[in-house]
Structure 1
Amino acid sequence: MTLHIDPITPRFGATCSGLDLTRPLSPEEVRQVTDAMDTWGVTVWRNTGMTDEQHVAFSRNFGFLERVPAREGVKMRLPFRELFDASNLNVDGEITRDPAAIEYRKGDRLWHTDSAFMEKRTSYSLLLAHQVPAEGGETWFADTRSAYEDLPQETKDLLEGKIGINSLWWSRKQAGAPIAEEEIDERPKARHPLVHVHRGSGRKALFIAAHTMDVEGMDKAEGRKLIADLIAHATQPQYIFSVKWNPGDLVIWDNLCTMHKGGEFDYANHKRDMRRTTVREGTEPHQMETGDDPYAALFARAPKVVDIADARVGGR
């Protein structure tokens, strides 16, 4: 089958059709998808009809899938560890009232890249809509390749070789969670270049987000201003678009050349059931890794205010 591409903006984002994502794809069809991703950064697939099992199977075409930490005695809402629960629901499928889960999810409405707080970065995220609110709840995307290319040369020179320090708990603090900076400093952080060459396209891209708290070697205030200025630059109208969801829609984005954020909706009264697979950078299709994912160690040290372990068993 042949992939059909309808660009959303001249340089960024495309709506794709023509492939049946519910069945195994040929190597040529997989290549068509990856070529589209390298060009457009975000691809939107409407009304896929995918099940959880098909979602996971399709995602494996692109590399090793990160897994939700297994916790003894903790019931999970979703049937596969490869599915991250990006919903506002508890384990029983009802809207969560758990304060920690609500506080944690606020960070999703900031511009971010998935798993930037881990030493092993995420390449593709594949988000499938199962239930969506009638109003709001869209997802916004930003083009960090074009944003970098349009920077003044003076800024590009300043960014050369600079390393960002990333923390999950920093983004949660920025979203309003009362986490002391001392608590953040006691917990794991990840170092990543602020600018890197995007492997699939050969273009340079910014790698910044709400998780980026400091710039290595820079004064904290100066580094944080630089981060804020770069995010503001990359999220100007000419670099962004939003996706309005319907059940069955799948959106794939490349975290190594984009940022994204969730749109606001009536979180307390309307269900939004979204399920995400995430592909580890640099891994091969269907690759398997042994041992537990590093997420287990990360979430074992979650600050109490955003420790969502109890939310997975129905709330406190």
Structure 2
Amino acid sequence: MALKVEPILPNFGAECSGLDLTRPLSPEEVKQVTDAMDKYGVTVWRNTGMNDEQHVEFSRNFGYLERVPKREGAKMRLPFRELFDASNLNLEGEITKDPAAVEYRKGDRLWHTDSAFLDKRTSYSLLLAHITPPAGVGGETWFADARTAYDDLPQETKDLIEDKIGINSLWWSRKKAGADIPEEEIDQRPKARHPIVHTHKGSGRKSLFIAAHTMDIEGMDKAEGRKLIEDLIAHVTQDKYTFKVAWNPGDMVIWDNLCTMHRGGEYDYTAHKRDMRRTTVREGTEPHTLDMGDDPLTALFAVTPKAVDINSARDAGR
């Protein structure tokens, strides 16, 4: 079947249909999906009918899938390590009351890119809705176009940031969201260096790669660098570059972290179940790669700041 594409904004975001994502796709069908992703950055697929196994298998079409951290003797709510739990649920499927889990999830409300805090970046994220809050109470996901936003920057700003390197930390975004994590503690933990401007491989367009995980800019005064980071995030997230997705169970959204930002919308976390499950594809890896011989997230979560230590409570998400 041919892929049907309906743009949401002229150059960003598209509602897609016409392919059955529950079955194996042909190479031509996979190319139809990646072509749409290269052009629009975000694709929305309604009522997919996918289960966990189909979700994981479909995601393998795009490269190696990162896995949730290992914890000896710990139970997992979800059946595959390739599924990251982006829900507000505990192991029993009830709304969690664990304060560290609640604190950790606040960071998802900030504009961010998945896994920017790892040396090996994520390309696609594929988020599938299983349970969603009732219509009208929030819980949408917002997306921002980092390519068009870069295009529209003044030339003076482009020249300033062309060769700049961002320093990224997971715990910095959690601190920005309100977690009580001293900056000295963040400095003792792993950080990742990434250019804040890069050329997006699939489209050949330049894009910003900067968001809530970006703590500092290498070589710049801290205050000056952090002001520049906030200014760039504010620029990318203007209304003209953004749209939101309202979810129903069975919906999937795929976004390319290398040319977008995203954030979760507000809702009453304590009143409504929201069961969302995500796979994440490592940049530059081959389809159906099963093992890269490394496990960066287990190392990252081995020592977690106390305010967001969810290791003993539930699967760690991002």
1:216 lines up with 2:239 in the alignment: no
In the other structure, the counterpart of 2:101 is 101
Q: Give the 3-state SS of the residue equivalent to 1:141 in structure 2.
A: strand
- Please give the residue correspondences for 1:292-303 in structure 2 after superposition, counting only pairs within 5 Å: 292-303=294-305
The answer (yes or no) to whether the contact 2:144–2:261 under 8 Å persists in 1 is: yes
Do 1:87 and 1:275's aligned partners in 2 also have CA atoms closer than 8 Å?
yes
What is the match of residue 248 of structure 1?
A: 250
Deviations 1:115-160 (A, max 9, x none): 0000000000000000000120000000000000000000000001
Deviation sequence 1:66-108 (CA, Å, 0-9, x none)? 0001211100000000000000001110000001000000000
Which structure 1 residue ranges, 4+ long, deviate > 3 Å from structure 2? Answer: none
- Alignment of 1:42 onto 2:39: no
Q: Which amino acid aligns with 1:93?
A: G
Separation in structure 2 between the aligned mates of residue 111 and residue 119 of structure 1, nearest angstrom: 20
Task: Say which SS state the counterpart of residue 268 (structure 2) adopts.
Answer: coil
Selected match of 1:155 from 153, 157, 161? 157
**1:282 equivalent among 256, 261, 284:** 284
1:72-221 pair list within 5 angstroms = 72-134=72-134, 135-221=137-223
Alpha-carbon separation, structure 2, partners of 1:98 and 1:292: 30
Who is 1:4 aligned against?
Answer: 4
The answer (yes or no) to whether the contact 1:69–1:292 under 8 Å persists in 2 is no
Percent identity, aligned pairs only? 80
Which residue identity lines up with residue 95 of structure 1 in the other structure?
Answer: I
Code of the residue aligned with 2:238 in structure 1: it is Q
Q: Is the 8 A contact 1:133 1:272 kept in 2?
A: yes
With normalisation by structure 1, the TM-score equals 0.98
Between the aligned partners of 1:291 and 1:281, the Cα distance in structure 2 is: 15
How far is 1:11 from its partner? 1.1
Native 8 Å contact 2:60 2:288 kept in 1: yes
Instruction: Give the deviation of 1:64 after TM superposition.
Output: 0.1
Find the aligned partners of 2:17 and 2:83 in 1 and give their Cα distance: 23
Distance 2:215 2:100 in 1: 22
**Using the alignment, how far apart are the partners of 1:220 and 1:301 within structure 2?**
26
Q: Which residue type is aligned with residue 21 of structure 1? A: L
Aligned partners of 2:18, 2:293: CA distance in 1, in Å? 38
Q: 1: CA distance between counterparts of 2:9 and 2:292?
A: 41
Contact kept, 8 Å, 1:162 with 1:215, in 2: the verdict is yes
Distance 1:78 1:146 in 2: 37
Counterpart amino acid of residue 244 in structure 1: A
Moved more, 138-147 or 291-300: 291-300
- CA offset at residue 290 of structure 1? 4.2
User: Which stretches in structure 1 are left out of the alignment for 5+ residues?
Assistant: none
What amino acid maps onto 1:252 in structure 2?
I
Gaps of 5+ in 2: none
- Compute the RMSD of aligned alpha carbons: 0.8
CA distance in 2, matches of 1:26, 1:4: 16
Partner secondary structure for residue 49 of structure 2: coil
Question: Given that residues 3 and 19 in structure 1 are in contact (C-alpha distance below 8 angstroms), is that contact kept between their aligned partners in structure 2?
Answer: yes
- 2:270 corresponds to: 268
Q: 1:309 aligns with which of 297, 304, 311?
A: 311
Q: Which amino acid aligns with 1:259?
A: M
The two structures have a TM-score, normalised by structure 2, of: 0.98
